[in-house]
């Protein structure tokens, strides 16, 4: 997709994904304009020092603030919604704050985009939204529903909305990588459960997925990448070869394995080659939806981290670490 003259609004633009997205877009499409929408003025100033302000515009704002969100969306061609409360313990301890940011904030993004006539909106979701066992996952599931069915409210406009859903990001803030790095320096690794597996994706792959969604979306899809799984014990060995380990037990709100597509979703999902695509069950906004080409998934198909066909070795994990 050509973003040469596009004006892109990026919520949560100072986060790990936002920084990677800015790096890619500013390099590939130097004539584009990216509006960074976030609460942290320090991180915005750091982005300005790194990338300059020729392409970037900086909006201090919170997705909870509907009027500010509406102002930021005016004149934008594309919205990438990456802002969220993501720390599981923080969401559990502050449940309504998580709802205000992840659920109501998502609604504000949808409303602002429709009212401003933004053509394409892509929201970032997570494997935690599938069969959620914690509040963070539950709020992201709600957000997915809001963005998918937001197309019904946008039916008479040019705005179309979709989601991407992926697993753990290598080296992102809050991932296990910086935790293991600190523990390795101290000479002992703490593992909650030796059976644990996770999907694993790099930041460049996450940016690729968003760009793919922007190019192929027609409204209401959830795009899911085909990514490898890894065993947490293999990651520990890659980061601290031979170090002693302590098994602490699974934490509240944590799963042994993660799922990106459930058996129920697979009935209305397709294999589109590079990605899986979960199609909306109620596409009231289109009489004849023009979905991306793909093959139906096998009956009962589940895309789960422990059932994956592709696995990362210890050496491959070591090579991927930032």
- Give the mean pLDDT of 257-262: 97
Q: Are 211 and 162 in contact (CB under 8 A)?
A: no
Q: Is the pLDDT of residue 175 over 90?
A: no
Helix (H/G/I), strand (E/B), else coil: 16: helix
Split at pLDDT 50, 70, 90, the class of 234 is: very high
261-295: buried (b, 16+ CB within 10 Å) or exposed (e) per residue? bbeebbeebbbbeebbbbbbeebebbeeeebbeee
Model confidence at 291, pLDDT cuts 50, 70, 90, reads confident
Look up the pTM and report it: 0.95
For residue 314, the model assigns a pLDDT of 94
pLDDT at 130 (0 to 100): 97
Task: Tell me which of 63 and 281 has the higher pLDDT.
Answer: 63
**Domain extents in the chain:** 7-168+201-226+259-304
| End-to-end Cα spacing for the chain | 28
What integer is the mean pLDDT of 178-190?
A: 89
Helix ranges, the chain (H): 16-28, 41-51, 66-73, 88-93, 95-98, 105-116, 135-153, 176-186, 203-216, 232-239, 263-266, 314-320
Lowest average pLDDT, out of 17-21, 289-293, 312-316, goes to: 289-293
Query: d(Cα 291, Cα 272) in Å, to the nearest integer?
Result: 10
Mean model confidence pLDDT for the chain: 94
Two tokens at 71? Answer: 């102002």
Structural contact between residues 108 and 9, judged by C-beta atoms closer than 8 angstroms: no
pLDDT above 70 (res 24): yes
CA atoms of 9 and 123, how far apart (whole Å) = 12
Q: Residue 322: is its pLDDT beyond 80?
A: no
Residue 178 pLDDT grade (very low, low, confident, very high; cuts 50, 70, 90): confident
Helix, coil or strand: residue 301: coil
pLDDT > 70: percent of the chain: 99
Could you confirm whether 128 is annotated as catalytic?
yes
For residue 102, give every residue at least 6 positions away whose Cβ sits within 8 Å of its Cβ, in sequence order, or none: 84, 85, 91, 136, 139, 140, 142, 143
Cα-based distances in Å from 230 to 52, 169, 274, 316: 37, 12, 20, 10
pLDDT at 288: 73
Average pLDDT over residues 82-104: 97
| Helices assigned H by DSSP within 223-298 | 232-239, 263-266
CA distances from 223 to 21, 105, 124, 218, 252 (A): 17, 21, 10, 12, 28
Tell me which of 43, 86, 128, 226 is the catalytic residue.
128
Predicted confidence band at 290 (pLDDT cuts at 50, 70, 90)? confident
pLDDT at residue 147 in the model: 98
Q: Residue 174: pLDDT band by 50, 70, 90 thresholds?
A: low
- Mean of pLDDT values over 298-315: 96
| Predicted pLDDT of residue 282 | 87
Token duo for residue 213: 């969604």
315: CB partners within 8 A, 6+ apart: 238
In the numeric block, the tokens 């949808």 are attached to 110
Query: What average pLDDT does the segment 124-132 reach?
Result: 97
Residue 179: per-residue pLDDT? 86
**Average pLDDT of the segment spanning 123-140:** 97
- pLDDT band at residue 148 using 50, 70 and 90 as cut-offs: very high
If one compares 294 and 290, the residue with the highest pLDDT of the two is 294
pLDDT at 67 over 90: yes
The rounded distance, in Å, linking the Cα atoms of 173 and 17 is 10
What CATH fold (topology level) applies to the domain 7-168+201-226+259-304? Rossmann fold (3.40.50)
Mean pLDDT for 258-266 is: 97
CB 174 within 8 A of CB 126: no
101, 11 Cβ separation under 8 angstroms:
no
């Amino acid at each position: 997709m050509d973003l040469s003259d596009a004006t892109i609004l990026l919520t949560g633009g100072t986060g790990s994904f936002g920084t990677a997205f800015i790096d890619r877009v500013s390099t590939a499409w130097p004539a584009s304009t990216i509006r960074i929408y976030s609460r942290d003025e320090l991180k915005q100033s750091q982005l300005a020092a790194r990338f300059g302000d020729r392409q970037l515009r900086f909006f201090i704002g919170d997705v909870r603030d509907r009027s500010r969100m509406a102002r930021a969306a005016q004149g934008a061609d594309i919205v990438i919604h990456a802002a969220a409360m993501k720390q599981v313990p923080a969401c559990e301890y502050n449940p309504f704050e998580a709802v205000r940011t992840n659920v109501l904030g998502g609604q504000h993004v949808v409303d602002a985009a429709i009212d401003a006539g933004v053509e394409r909106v892509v929201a970032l979701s997570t494997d935690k939204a599938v069969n959620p066992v914690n509040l963070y996952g539950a709020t992201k599931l709600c957000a997915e529903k809001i963005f998918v069915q937001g197309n019904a409210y946008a039916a008479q406009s040019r705005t179309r909305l979709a989601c991407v859903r992926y697993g753990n990001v290598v080296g992102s803030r809050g991932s296990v990588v910086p935790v293991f790095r600190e523990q390795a320096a101290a000479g002992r690794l703490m593992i909650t459960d030796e059976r644990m597996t996770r999907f694993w994706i790099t930041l460049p792959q996450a940016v690729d997925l968003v760009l793919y969604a922007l190019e192929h979306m027609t409204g209401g899809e959830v795009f899911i990448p085909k990514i490898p799984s890894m065993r947490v014990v293999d990651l520990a060995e890659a980061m601290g070869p031979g170090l002693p380990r302590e098994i602490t037990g699974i934490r509240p709100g944590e799963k042994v394995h993660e799922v990106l597509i459930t058996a129920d979703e697979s009935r209305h999902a397709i294999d589109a080659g590079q990605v899986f695509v979960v199609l909306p069950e109620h596409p009231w906004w289109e009489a004849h939806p023009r979905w991306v080409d793909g093959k139906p998934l096998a009956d009962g198909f589940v895309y789960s981290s422990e059932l994956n066909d592709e696995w990362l070795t210890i050496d491959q994990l070591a090579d991927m670490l930032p």
